[in-house]
Amino acid sequence: MPVTQWSALAQADADALIAFAQRLVQTPSLPGHEEEVARLVEQEMCQLGYDAVTVDPAGNVVGWIRGDAGPPLMFNAHMDHVDPGDLSSWPHPPYSGAIVDGMLWGRGSVDMKGALAAMVYAGGLIQRHHLPLPGDLIVAAVVMEEGGGVGTHELLRHVRPALCVVGESSAGCVMRGHRGRTEFLARVVGRPVHASMPELGANPHYPMARFLARLETLPMEADAVFTGASVAPTLYRTDQSSPNVTPGEVRLTLDWRSLPSQRMEQVAAQLEALLREGLAADFQAEVCIVQNRYVTYTGRTVELPASFPSFLLPMDHWLVQGAQRTLSQALDRAVAIDVWRFATDGGQIAALGIPTIGFGPGDPKVVHTNHEHIAVTALVDALAGYAALASEMVRAPL
């Protein structure tokens, strides 16, 4: 298909696409509360003529467009969003879906209801115009990505695509990977006493403080693509609520950003050795990966480690090159190849051996801020891009 036609086809659907993205933004869907947005996605897929639309036990909405016998391609977008914070601090209310000067405002407009709307409409566009589809297209709208990756974890139990495009914002680039993210919990247990007689106890603040000082100068593995792994202490808690009692236990959360080569069990052991360095016999100390328990809006309980893998496809991987070529032709502009700064559901998809890339509209720098907004032209651009990727990109044989 000649260059301009993808944009023209997308342009013809622009009003409906933008209105759908606006309805999604106007419908709050914090993690575990995506029911209403899920219903909107399901209805839209049905109206757009998807061959099958299912809602799985975790509440993920999965739409199918049947294609030829080639490898099935999944478009992956999450339906939840982070908390909007102080509502009055937004230039336009976070659930208004206001369109001002060509910008759609609101929580989730970039992360990632804009991409979700464009992916849903890409399936509809292909179906309505009977465009070629080398293999099935699976459009997955998942729950509870923010902080947990729960929806995609549950989805992959029953849906196994051969390749995947994650729609997290990429500023129009093709993303080939990101660092991983793991939460570690460092615990030191001592002996609590009346704070007037501290010499009788074993105060765990001190060994934890020495650990923090050592952590600050811990050599981190370097890397040319991601610039290196990193670690940041985030939360700190004690087991006491009285200011005149020394704690029996302190807990420190660490946010670790990993490289593809790093094994998190090894990192935990390394951190535990650092914590135990010179530890007096009065104390016990350990470092483990945080385990979380989630309940989806459908009532399903899921326990998962707070550990999200890194992934990286080589620059010359056929999917990276194929996506760049397809997108630059379809959108008639240069499309760069890059990596994300943040972690996505792509890590757990790639960890199953499924080649995965990212392509999503909007500026990643406004994500999780109180000025999240997206150009409506970027939504139309994304629709053209997704439709071209599904229909035209050469899919390597299984």
- Assess 56 for contact with Zn ion (CB under 5 A): no
Binding mask 10-29 for Zn ion (x = CB under 5 A): --------------------
Minimum CB distance to Zn ion smaller for 112 or for 122:
112
Containing H/E element for 21? helix 14-25
Residue closest to Zn ion when measured from CB atoms: 111
Binding range to Zn ion, per CB under 5 A, among 31-39, 107-115, 126-134, 271-279: 107-115
Member of 17, 112, 350, 374 binding Zn ion (CB under 5 A): 112
Binding range to Zn ion, per CB under 5 A, among 104-112, 120-128, 255-263, 373-381: 104-112
Unique residue bearing structure tokens 């995609």: 152
Sign of CA dihedral 7, 8, 9, 11: positive
Q: How far is the CB of 357 from Zn ion (least distance, A)?
A: 16
Size of the site for Zn ion (CB under 5 A): 3
Tokens of 335: 């499309």
Minimum CB distance to Zn ion smaller for 115 or for 125:
115
Minimum CB distance to Zn ion smaller for 324 or for 344:
344
Q: How far is the CB of 246 from Zn ion (least distance, A)?
A: 41
Nearest alpha-carbon partner for 24 in 50, 45, 10, 3: 45
Binding range to Zn ion, per CB under 5 A, among 47-55, 160-168, 325-333, 377-385: 160-168
Tokens of 124: 């509809």
Buried-state track 79-99, b at ≥16 Cβ within 10 A, e below 16: bbbbebeeeeebebebbbbbb
Minimum CB distance to Zn ion smaller for 367 or for 390:
367
Sign of CA dihedral 327, 333, 337, 341: negative
Q: How far is the CB of 261 from Zn ion (least distance, A)?
A: 25
Nearest alpha-carbon partner for 10 in 319, 326, 379, 375: 379
The type of residue at 390 is A
Binding range to Zn ion, per CB under 5 A, among 52-60, 108-116, 331-339, 353-361: 108-116
Q: How far is the CB of 327 from Zn ion (least distance, A)?
A: 20
Q: How far is the CB of 112 from Zn ion (least distance, A)?
A: 5
Binding range to Zn ion, per CB under 5 A, among 163-171, 236-244, 249-257, 273-281: 163-171
Unique residue bearing structure tokens 């890194």: 310
Q: In residues, how long is the chain? A: 398
Binding range to Zn ion, per CB under 5 A, among 165-173, 192-200, 202-210, 308-316: 165-173
CB 32 within 8 A of CB 295: yes
Minimum CB distance to Zn ion smaller for 136 or for 168:
168
The type of residue at 27 is T
CB 197 within 8 A of CB 244: no
Minimum CB distance to Zn ion smaller for 111 or for 136:
111
Rounded to an integer, what distance in angstroms lies between the CA atom of residue 224 and that of residue 52? 43
HSE-up of residue 358 (Cα within 13 Å, Cβ side): 32
45 upstream amide cis, omega within 30 of 0: no
Task: From residue 377, give the alpha-carbon distance in Å to each of 91, 126, 167, 171, 383.
Answer: 21, 20, 16, 13, 10
Q: How far is the CB of 133 from Zn ion (least distance, A)?
A: 26
CB 155 within 8 A of CB 92: no
Binding range to Zn ion, per CB under 5 A, among 112-120, 148-156, 158-166, 175-183: 112-120
- Assess 38 for contact with Zn ion (CB under 5 A): no
- Assess 111 for contact with Zn ion (CB under 5 A): yes
Q: How far is the CB of 32 from Zn ion (least distance, A)?
A: 16
Q: Which residues contact 5 (CB under 8 A, 6 or more apart)?
A: none
Minimum CB distance to Zn ion smaller for 154 or for 168:
168
Interface residues with Zn ion (CB under 5 A) are 111-112, 168
